[in-house]
């Protein structure tokens, strides 16, 4: 398997638009070039297997997932404490890994960001931000034990993002997104 030409690592709070930006990148670059890879997918897969749960329902934005979120976070932290790059490695060992561009749609910890920066020279770190009022309009409700945990706050202190995208409105996002897209396309040249 050849190394990707660009690895775009997305980070941001819940309901900031990480999945929206990931899907937009894939739409603009094309499914043949760009693969979306989620760190949460192998975590949820293993958690579902060990707890006899519906994996597909843990992947969507349902109440089912929210019911298990706190315990999944606790369980995932235990796994990460044993091996900080466990979920990063699992996420990149999938069939989509043969694409030229990887979009990691849900980096949440310094160990996630460090893993990709260490292993992939063309890593582009992107922080997606949205005002709390905008996030609330998208369904965000602060949940103690979730929104104040490392899984939501682990990258809050990072200052060296390659791009910060403000996702409060389409026009603002589009201007910044175009710069990101141009940078990715330079890596493909």
44 is in an annotated binding site: no
185 is in an annotated binding site: no
Q: Rounded CA gap, 50 and 63, in Å?
A: 20
85 is in an annotated binding site: no
What does the mean pLDDT of the chain come to?
Answer: 91
138 is in an annotated binding site: yes
Least confident window among 47-61, 108-122, 173-187:
47-61
* Cβ neighbour number for residue 184 with a 10 Å cutoff: 22
167 is in an annotated binding site: yes
User: Is residue 9 pLDDT above 70, yes or no?
Assistant: yes
pLDDT value, residue 1: 59
Q: Rounded CA gap, 120 and 64, in Å?
A: 35
Q: Give the mean pLDDT of 107-135.
A: 95
114-117: list long-range contacts, CB under 8 Å, 24+ apart: 115/84, 115/85, 115/88, 115/89, 116/7, 116/9, 116/88
Residues 6+ apart with CB under 8 A from 67: none
**How does pLDDT run across 36-48, given as a tens digit for each residue?**
998 888 888 889 9
Q: Give the mean pLDDT of 72-83.
A: 88
Q: Which domains does the chain have, with CATH numbers?
A: 6-40+96-188 (3.40.50.300)
């Amino acid at each position: 398997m050849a190394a990707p030409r660009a690895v775009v690592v997305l980070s941001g709070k819940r309901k900031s638009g990480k999945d929206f930006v990931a899907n937009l990148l894939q739409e603009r670059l094309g499914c043949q070039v760009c693969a979306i890879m989620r760190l949460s997918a192998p975590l949820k897969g293993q958690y579902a297997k060990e707890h006899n749960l519906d994996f597909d329902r843990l992947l969507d934005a349902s109440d089912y997932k929210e019911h298990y979120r706190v315990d999944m976070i606790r369980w995932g932290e235990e796994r990460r404490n044993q091996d900080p790059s466990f979920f990063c490695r699992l996420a990149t060992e999938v069939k989509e890994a043969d694409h030229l561009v990887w979009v990691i749609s849900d980096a949440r910890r310094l160990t996630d960001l460090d893993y990709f920066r260490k292993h992939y020279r063309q890593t582009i770190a992107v922080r997606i931000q949205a005002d709390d009022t905008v996030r609330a309009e998208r369904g965000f409700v602060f949940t103690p034990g979730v929104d104040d945990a490392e899984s939501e706050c682990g990258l809050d202190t990072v200052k060296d993002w390659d791009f910060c995208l403000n996702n409060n409105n389409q026009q603002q996002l589009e201007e910044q997104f175009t710069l990101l897209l141009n940078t990715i396309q330079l890596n493909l040249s």
